[in-house]
């Protein structure tokens, strides 16, 4: 879409392209779009391949994947930090059943090598604390950390919806849950929402609860650890 005309333009690719898929992981690094995994719902097929699209030549290339490669998954979050593509959580299929993940991997975009992230306990904890397994959550990068909010733990009957907020320190490889110490407002549990970071604030919009779709907008101040619901004009249908 161009800002001048507010119109979409279909991009024609060159060479062999990845198979059709939903929910892949994507980041942009060194003028390439990096695409990992996803699933093809009609088959269904589940992917853990890696491709790049050169944004100048519009040519796709299938990449090598060294190291400990993650298993197939979708519904995970993906962030870019210091030349590494981090994937966290999501769903995969084990022994014919869908299972939520709590693991994290990073892919070095220079060496093209995967490595599993080993969680550590913080100095103030007696044991390792990590979020519950989940998918369709959100993650953003703030300074030297990843901020994860909400999502759900999928079950065919009785999925669990979350509204917890966790911060993962990339250097220390530790998790810390952020909780409200007073009666300050807090967003309701949800999945399939969106999140963006702007300076010291994370904004989340929409999503789903067990009963309905949402169109509320919230701001989390990462300096004060406080939520604020933003009252908007108009409505989205």
CB 152 within 8 A of CB 159: yes
Q: Give the pLDDT confidence score for residue 4 in this predicted structure.
A: 66
Per-residue pLDDT band for 124 (boundaries 50, 70, 90) equals confident
Q: Give the pLDDT confidence score for residue 98 in this predicted structure.
A: 81
pLDDT greater at residue 98 or residue 43: 98
pLDDT greater at residue 197 or residue 71: 197
Q: What is the pLDDT of residues 198-231, one digit of tens each?
A: 999 999 999 999 889 999 999 999 999 999 999 9
Q: Give the pLDDT confidence score for residue 226 in this predicted structure.
A: 95
Task: In whole angstroms, give the CA distance from residue 137 to residue 178.
Answer: 16
Encoded tokens for 83: 């030349």
* DSSP-derived 3-state class of residue 5: coil
Task: In whole angstroms, give the CA distance from residue 66 to residue 182.
Answer: 47
Q: What is the pLDDT of residues 28-39, one digit of tens each?
A: 999 999 999 988
Select from 20, 131, 36, 114 the least CA-distant residue to 75: 36
Encoded tokens for 141: 């990068």
Encoded tokens for 73: 């998954």
The whole-chain average pLDDT of the chain stands at: 91
Per-residue pLDDT band for 14 (boundaries 50, 70, 90) equals confident
Strand bridging mode 113-116 / 66-67 = parallel
Q: Give the pLDDT confidence score for residue 234 in this predicted structure.
A: 75
Taking 60 as the threshold, does the pLDDT of residue 135 lie above it?
yes
Q: Could you give the strand order of the β-sheet that contains 113-116, starting from the edge strand earlier in sequence?
A: 66-67, 113-116, 104-108, 84-88, 77-81
* For range 8-31, the mean pLDDT: 91
Q: Give the pLDDT confidence score for residue 95 in this predicted structure.
A: 65
Per-residue pLDDT band for 15 (boundaries 50, 70, 90) equals confident
Indicate the DSSP class of residue 59.
B
CB 140 within 8 A of CB 146: yes
Per-residue pLDDT band for 94 (boundaries 50, 70, 90) equals confident
Q: What is the pLDDT of residues 166-197, one digit of tens each?
A: 999 999 999 999 998 788 899 999 999 999 99
Ordered by where they begin, the domains of the chain are 18-117 (no CATH), 120-237 (2.120.10.80)
Q: What is the pTM of this model?
A: 0.92
* For range 84-103, the mean pLDDT: 87
């Amino acid at each position: 879409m161009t800002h001048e005309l507010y119109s979409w333009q279909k991009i024609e690719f060159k060479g062999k392209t990845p198979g059709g898929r939903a929910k892949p992981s994507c980041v942009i690094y060194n003028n390439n779009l990096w695409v990992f995994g996803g699933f093809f719902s009609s088959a269904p097929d589940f992917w853990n391949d890696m491709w790049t699209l050169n944004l100048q030549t519009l040519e796709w290339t299938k990449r090598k994947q060294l190291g400990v490669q993650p298993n197939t998954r979708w519904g995970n979050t993906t962030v870019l930090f210091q030349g590494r593509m981090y994937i966290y959580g999501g769903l995969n299929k084990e022994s014919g059943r869908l299972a939520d993940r709590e693991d994290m991997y990073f892919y070095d975009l220079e060496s093209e090598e995967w490595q599993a992230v080993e969680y550590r306990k913080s100095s103030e904890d007696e044991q390792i604390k990590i979020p519950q397994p989940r998918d369709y959550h959100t993650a953003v990068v703030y300074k030297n950390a990843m901020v994860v909010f909400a999502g759900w733990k999928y079950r065919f009957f009785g999925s669990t919806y979350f509204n917890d907020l966790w911060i993962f320190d990339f250097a220390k490889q530790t998790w810390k849950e952020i909780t409200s110490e007073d009666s300050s407002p807090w967003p309701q549990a949800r999945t399939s929402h969106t999140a963006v970071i702007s300076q010291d604030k994370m904004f989340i919009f929409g999503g789903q609860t067990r009963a309905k779709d949402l169109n509320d907008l919230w701001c989390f101040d990462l300096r004060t650890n406080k939520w604020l619901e933003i009252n908007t004009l108009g409505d989205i249908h």
